[in-house]
Amino acid sequence: MKLLFKQRFFSWLDSYDIYDEAGRPVYTVKGQLSWGHCLKIFDAQGRPLGSIQERILTFLPKFEMYLGDDYIGCISKEFSLFRPRYHIECNGWQVDGDWLEWDYQITDRTGRPVATVSKELFNWTDTYVIDVADPRDALCALMLVLAIDAEKCSRD
C-alpha cells in the first residue's frame, strides 16, 4: 500500500493531506496550537483516529503517539553525528535513514521491512511517499513519518 504524504502550502499550523495510490484522500492531519508540536490525525470522513504530541523540556526531541486516547508508544531522536537515529517504543520497530534524512526504512524486530519512506524532490512543500508492506500498519507508519518530519522542522 502506498501513501502520498503532502504538506499543505497555505497553513498557519502544520497540516497535511495523505492520499492513496489512486489519489483519494485517506487521512488528514491538522496541527494544533500548543507547546511543542501537536498533530491530530483524521480519517477521510473527518473522524479522529490518533495524534502525535511532542514532549517538551527533553534533551532531545521526543514524540508520544496515541490511537484515539490510548498511548501506543513514542519515538525519540538519538544523538548521532552523521546519520539520523531514532529510538522507537512501538511495535518493536526500528528506523534506518540516509544522512540527508530524506529516505528511510522502518523495519520490525526481525529486520522485515514495515515501510519505506522517500521524499519527493522539487515540490513546494514536504512530500513523501510511504510504501507500507501491510495496510494494517499504515496509521502507525504515518505517525512515525509525522514525528520525524516535525523533529526536522523544529531543528530547521
Distances (CA, A) of 56 to 26, 35, 115, 144, 147: 30, 7, 28, 18, 14
> Tens digit of pLDDT per residue, the chain (156 long)?
999 988 876 555 678 899 999 999 999 999 887 677 899 999 999 999 999 998 877 778 889 999 999 999 998 887 777 676 788 888 889 888 776 667 889 999 999 999 999 987 776 677 889 999 999 999 999 999 888 888 776 555
* C-alpha to C-alpha distance for 3 and 93, rounded to whole angstroms: 19
Q: What are phi and psi of 80, to 5 degrees?
A: -155, 155
Instruction: Say which residue the cell 507500507 belongs to.
Output: 132
Whole-model pTM: value is: 0.84
